[in-house]
Amino acid sequence: MTIETVEGVTEPMRVSVSVVTYNSPFELLRKTIDDLYRALCFARTQGMPVQIQLLVVDNSPDEACRASVRDLVHTDAAQKFDAVDYWNPMSNIGFGAAHNQALERCDSEFHMILNPDVEMDEDVLYTASRFLQTQPDVAMVSPQATDGHGQVQYLCKRYPSVLVLSLRAFAPGFIKQWFSTYLSSYEDRKNHASSVPADVLLVSGCFMYARTDALRAVSGFSDQFFMYFEDFDLSLRIQRVGRLVYLPSMHIVHHGGYTVRKGLRHISMFVRSGWKFFHCHGWRWI
């Protein structure tokens, strides 16, 4: 670990960043990498010596798509970061398993789990790193987020129930209005409205910034989850080794879609993963 103050740091702070792609929109991925580079440059201008190792795991089945991503990593990204690594596992192994492969290869103090559809403010890396440096009991932090239209995304959640997940996934708008207070409570809107850091229970996997040792202490993501709920499961398990904190002073834009809009296959995976989550951590019906 680097010393507590930025002034006087002699050894660079090592940060690894894992990105998992699956036929991801190329221009969004390029913007994600560009924003990461901007964040690196900003941290260095603030006197924080940082080295970044970028690891891209490409689950895409399409060779043309893989070729574009591979070229982006080995040409553009290789000029921006201290180390880059790209590989294709030869099949779609899922979100969590792919990030775990990256975690096995990284050499870092802090690790960023980053979706290929995330834009970040230039001070995100600096803000998150400084917070973890000064809060040794914190294992992982989650940012404030908006979507591509500027609407707030509530990345932090309370423990879910079967009812709340069913309402969010399947209920028409007028039904959701009837349960608006109930749904707002699940989205932990009180903490999201705060301007100060707050301890939270569950966070989204679209952006996680954690101590590498903390992730390894809980063996990263569980292999029980192919897609969906792996982030909630990790959130609960990582709190065995440290606090999980919402950090409103760092901001991202997340362009991710909603499960229901992705078709029946994704809905089926969502339901199966939800069952596994409740089976592991306890059922709550309402």
Per-residue pLDDT of the chain (286 residues; tens, 9 = 90+): 343 444 554 689 999 999 999 999 999 999 999 999 999 999 999 999 999 999 999 999 999 999 999 999 999 999 999 999 999 998 999 999 999 999 999 999 999 999 999 999 999 999 999 999 999 999 999 999 999 999 999 999 999 999 999 999 889 999 999 999 999 999 999 999 999 999 999 999 999 999 999 999 999 999 999 989 999 999 999 999 999 999 999 999 999 755 445 667 878 889 999 999 999 999 999 9
Check residue 268 and give its pLDDT. Answer: 87
Check residue 169 and give its pLDDT. Answer: 86
Check residue 260 and give its pLDDT. Answer: 46
First to last CA, the chain: 43
- Report the alpha-carbon distance of residue 228 to residue 205 in Å, rounded: 9
Check residue 256 and give its pLDDT. Answer: 76
- Report the alpha-carbon distance of residue 133 to residue 123 in Å, rounded: 15
In terms of Cα–Cα distance, which of 143, 121, 124 is closest to 31?
121
Residue type, 230: E
Check residue 1 and give its pLDDT. Answer: 37
Map tokens 């080794």 to a residue.
241
Report the run of H or E that residue 114 belongs to, with start and end: strand 110-114
In terms of Cα–Cα distance, which of 52, 62, 42 is closest to 18?
52
- Report the alpha-carbon distance of residue 44 to residue 28 in Å, rounded: 25
- Report the alpha-carbon distance of residue 248 to residue 41 in Å, rounded: 21
In terms of Cα–Cα distance, which of 164, 185, 165, 187 is closest to 274?
165
Running DSSP on this structure, what letter comes out for residue 48?
A: -
CB 210 within 8 A of CB 106: no
Check residue 210 and give its pLDDT. Answer: 98
Check residue 262 and give its pLDDT. Answer: 62
Domains and CATH numbers, the chain: 13-281 (3.90.550.10)
CA distances from 60 to 56, 80, 145, 232 (A): 11, 24, 26, 24
- Positive or negative torsion for Cα 97, 99, 104, 109: negative
